[in-house]
Each structure stands twice: as structure tokens, then as C-alpha cells.
Amino acid sequence: MMNQTFIDNAKVMAKGQVTIPKDIREILGVSCGDRITFVVENGSVRLINSAVYAMQILQAQMEGEAEQNDLSTDEDIMDLVKDVRAESVE
């Protein structure tokens, strides 16, 4: 995601709804029907594209897995994929 500072505001409506300003939606890469994640830390809220957030969590969880499984080259990974696919066919 872009590393920049951008400030905008929105009015909270009676049901707690807000309209995310267009510039913010563009920065987040979200549009109608997309999901967003609210992350509350130390009294501040970050608004994140849910798909991006899920990928960040997955990447953090998978960090170091390749090395632990002796997968150091693209060829190693392709061989593993072929083996897994062959097992699922059997």
C-alpha cells in the first residue's frame, strides 16, 4: 500500500454510517461491495482494504516456511506443487 499522509473527514450519520471520501476509496483500492477492516490501536483507527489485510496476515503467518521446508528455488516450489497436485488426483 502507498506510504503517504492524507487527511480527510466525513460526517457520522444517525445509524453510525459514514461515506468514505472518494480520494480515500481510491487510495485503499475499494469500491462498491468491497469489504474494509477497521484496526483500532492506541485510540486510533486504521481503515484497510480487507483483501489486502488478509494477504498481509497470510504473508506474516507464512514467513520462514519456505526455508523450514527446504524450498530455496522456484524449481523446488514447482516440484512441491506438482507433488501435491499428483497426490490430490490419486
Does the global pTM surpass 0.75? no
Q: What is the pLDDT of residue 76?
A: 85
Q: What percentage of the chain has pLDDT greater than the value 90?
A: 40
- Lookup result for grid cell 524450498: 71
Cα–Cα separations (whole angstroms), residue 14 to 11, 17, 18, 82 = 10, 7, 10, 55
Q: What is the pLDDT of residue 16?
A: 94
Q: What is the pLDDT of residue 87?
A: 84
Contacts of residue 45, defined as CB under 8 A and 6 or more positions apart, other chains included, come to 38, 39
**Average pLDDT of 49-66?**
87
Q: Is residue 84 packed enough to be buried (19+ CB in 10 Å), middle (13-18) or exposed (0-12)?
A: exposed
At 5-41, the pLDDT tens digits run 878 889 999 999 999 999 999 988 999 999 999 999 9
